[in-house]
């Protein structure tokens, strides 16, 4: 049965999956959501023994109904191949009595690879299916990981260009090098003088600029997004939660139909929303625990029902979570409002105008699947050190936020369910802070000088992505102020005409 997508801000029209992926963002500024969450065709027992690619086909077929099986198979085959350094694609590692779902074995060693390895293939097929002859211009803001994964995915893909904005000084040295050394005739990277929220708001404003849209169409170009506002980013993320449960079942780590709690380090809310979609598809998931760092806007929201970004923006050791406007939360707000686009649009307008909104008591009751928690810098560093000393396992700073929040929850919880923690990045991406957490003597050592010591300490080989970044030539040096972003985009597109 065909599944359609609609905007979170109006009830006027629906589109097919391929159209939603091409557009990225609805013309009214809303995000595309499926008219209903499809159920899995197979039971979890039937998925036992399946490869990652087989589970991906099951999930993508349910959501992307205007793609043929052959088209999806082709996308999956090209995405989940030798680019991943582990045959399981997303391996599970048991540490103590919790399970880490390692999502960083792709080409750029961050969880964004899980979706951005397949998005370019989904998008090029979508363009063909919809007879789009325009060049697709991918416009994306990044807090560190999406940018590199998108650049790697779209580099030299015919019929596409990509422009990535990132906050100068707001990402790790490795993250910045990964982006600024990116090759590809169609790639562009620009640092902004501001934080991630500034970059994200600037990109959204460019999407909504109707005059620019007309100019681009006249020149045979159109925008799309690689951020998780694009439903083509979100749907592939559902796959690894379905896969993880099936693997736990296969290995006897979880009983049939037993509820699994999941803790996700959260910034833009896409990764944990994917877990919610997996639950709605039929995966036996209990609590979804949203882990924040000191920028705890989501923790406060789940606690009070008020979303308020009017606060200091804190630069932390987990920069990919340094976010005060969690774009994907809009999809959840729309859902708990009973899919009332008018209510959601009003709340999003309040966020834009006043920097805050408050949900109703009834809406708050619909948040029962979620819990919020946060870990400060001290708790984050302590979790890295303690886990290494007790088990030898080394995690990055974002995963450590989730592990800390998970530990606090489990100490207080009345139930004793198995716990899955989404491990979102290789510790090599944040090696300076990871090493300083393990031993303070590394605190004043340059991050670039800690690669080899970390290899010796962790017994984990240096990923190819890190070696490439260290050896690569810096190709992108442009920096701009936030109000200049739209002009920078125009200049880039003019230059390449």
Judged against a pLDDT cut of 60, whether residue 433 lies above it is answered with yes
Task: Find the length of the chain.
Answer: 497
Helix (H) or strand (E) holding 59: helix 52-63
Which pLDDT belongs to residue 229?
Answer: 87
**Bridge partner residues of 292 (DSSP):** 374
Q: How far apart are CA 316 and CA 397, in angstroms?
A: 9
Whether the CB-CB separation of 196 and 141 falls below 8 Å is answered with yes
Under DSSP, the state recorded for 228 is T
Q: How far apart are CA 209 and CA 203, in angstroms?
A: 10
Percent of the chain with pLDDT over 90: 95
Section 400-417 average pLDDT: 96
Which pLDDT belongs to residue 496?
Answer: 58
129 is catalytic: no
Indicate the range of 67-76, 143-152, 232-241, 261-270 predicted with least confidence: 143-152
Dihedral of the alpha carbons of 472, 473, 478, 482, in degrees to the nearest 10: 10
Which pLDDT belongs to residue 227?
Answer: 82
Which among 267, 272, 274, 266 has a CA at the least distance from the CA of 239? Answer: 274
Which among 273, 137, 145 has a CA at the least distance from the CA of 206? Answer: 137
Q: How far apart are CA 285 and CA 290, in angstroms?
A: 14
pLDDT in tens, 264-282: 999 999 999 999 999 999 9
Helix (H) or strand (E) holding 95: strand 92-95
pLDDT in tens, 86-123: 999 999 999 999 999 999 999 999 999 999 999 999 99
pLDDT in tens, 157-198: 999 999 999 999 999 999 999 999 999 999 999 999 999 999
Which pLDDT belongs to residue 497?
Answer: 45
Whether the CB-CB separation of 313 and 323 falls below 8 Å is answered with no
Sheet of 32-34: strand order equals: 14-15, 5-7, 32-34
pLDDT in tens, 33-67: 999 999 999 999 999 999 999 999 999 999 999 99
Query: Under DSSP, is residue 287 helix (H, G, I), strand (E, B) or coil?
Result: strand
Which among 164, 171, 126, 162 has a CA at the least distance from the CA of 144? Answer: 171
Judged against a pLDDT cut of 50, whether residue 73 lies above it is answered with yes
Those residues whose C-beta lies under 8 Å from the C-beta of residue 371, and which sit 6 or more positions away, are 287, 288, 289, 290, 302, 409
In order, the DSSP letters of 325-347 are: --TTHHHHHHHHTTS-HHHHHHH
Whether the CB-CB separation of 59 and 238 falls below 8 Å is answered with yes
In degrees rounded to 5, what are phi and psi of residue 286?
Answer: -90, -105
Neighbours of 154 (CB within 10 A): 24
Section 309-331 average pLDDT: 95
Q: How would you write 8-49 as a 3-class SS string? A: CCCCCCEECHHHHHHHCCCCCCCCEEECCCCCCCCCHHHHCC
Active-site hit among 6, 23, 78, 112: 112
pLDDT in tens, 455-471: 999 999 999 999 999 99
Average per-residue pLDDT for the chain: 95
pLDDT band at 145 (very low <50, low <70, confident <90, very high): confident
Q: What share of the chain is helix, strand, coil (3-state, %, to 5)?
A: 50, 15, 35
Whether the CB-CB separation of 286 and 260 falls below 8 Å is answered with yes
Burial of 133 (0-12, 13-18, 19+ CB in 10 A): exposed
**Bridge partner residues of 15 (DSSP):** 5
Model's pTM, two decimal places? Answer: 0.94
CB-based burial, 419-458: b 16+ in 10 Å, e otherwise? bbbbbbbbbbbbbbbbbbbbeeebeeeebeebbeebeebb
pLDDT band at 216 (very low <50, low <70, confident <90, very high): very high
| Structure tokens, 94 | 């048991």
pLDDT band at 7 (very low <50, low <70, confident <90, very high): very high
């Amino acid at each position: 049965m065909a599944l359609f997508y609609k905007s979170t801000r109006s009830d006027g029209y629906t589109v097919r999956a391929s159209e939603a992926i091409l557009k990225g963002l609805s013309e009214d500024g809303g995000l595309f959501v499926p008219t209903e969450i499809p159920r899995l065709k197979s039971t979890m027992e039937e998925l036992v023994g399946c490869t990652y690619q087989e589970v991906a086909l099951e999930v993508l077929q349910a959501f992307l109904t205007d793609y043929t099986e052959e088209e999806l198979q082709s996308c999956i085959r090209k995405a989940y191949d030798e680019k991943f350094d582990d045959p399981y694609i997303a391996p599970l590692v048991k540490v103590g009595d919790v399970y880490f779902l390692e999502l960083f074995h792709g080409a750029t060693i961050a969880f964004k690879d899980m979706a951005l390895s397949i998005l370019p293939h989904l998008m090029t097929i979508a363009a063909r299916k919809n007879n789009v002859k325009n060049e697709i211009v991918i416009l994306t803001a990044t807090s560190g990981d999406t940018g590199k994964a998108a650049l790697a995915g779209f580099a030299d893909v015919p019929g596409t260009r990509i422009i990535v904005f990132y906050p100068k000084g707001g990402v790790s040295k490795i993250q910045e090098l990964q982006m600024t050394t990116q090759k590809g005739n169609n790639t562009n990277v620009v640092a902004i003088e501001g934080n991630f929220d500034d970059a994200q708001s600037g990109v959204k404003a460019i999407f909504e600029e109707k005059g620019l849209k007309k100019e681009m169409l006249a020149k045979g170009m159109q925008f799309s997004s690689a951020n998780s506002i694009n439903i083509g980013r979100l749907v592939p993320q559902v796959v690894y939660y379905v896969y993880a449960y099936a693997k736990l079942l296969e290995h006897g780590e979880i009983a049939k139909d037993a509820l699994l709690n999941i803790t996700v380090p959260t910034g833009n809310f896409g990764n944990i929303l994917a877990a919610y979609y997996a639950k709605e598809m039929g995966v036996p998931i209990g609590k979804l625990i949203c882990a924040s760092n000191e920028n705890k806007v989501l923790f406060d929201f789940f606690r009070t029902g008020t979303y308020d970004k009017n606060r200091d923006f804190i630069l932390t050791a987990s920069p990919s979570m340094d976010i005060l406007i969690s774009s994907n939360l809009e999809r959840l707000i729309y859902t708990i409002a009973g899919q009332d686009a008018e209510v959601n649009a009003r709340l999003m307008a309040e966020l834009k105008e006043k920097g805050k909104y408050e949900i109703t008591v009834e809406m708050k009751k619909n948040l029962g699947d979620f819990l919020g928690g946060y870990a400060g810098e001290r708790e984050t560093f302590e979790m890295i050190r303690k886990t290494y000393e007790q088990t030898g396992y080394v995690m990055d700073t974002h995963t450590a936020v989730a592990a800390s929040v998970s530990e606090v929850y489990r100490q207080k919880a009345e139930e004793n369910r198995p716990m899955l923690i989404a491990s979102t990045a290789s510790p090599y991406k944040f090696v300076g802070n990871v090493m300083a957490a393990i031993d303070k003597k590394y605190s004043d050592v340059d991050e670039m000088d800690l690669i080899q010591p970390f290899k010796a300490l962790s017994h984990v080989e240096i990923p190819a992505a890190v070696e490439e970044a260290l050896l690569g030539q810096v190709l992108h040096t442009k920096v701009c102020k936030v109000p200049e972003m739209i002009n920078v985009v125009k200049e880039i597109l003019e230059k390449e005409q």
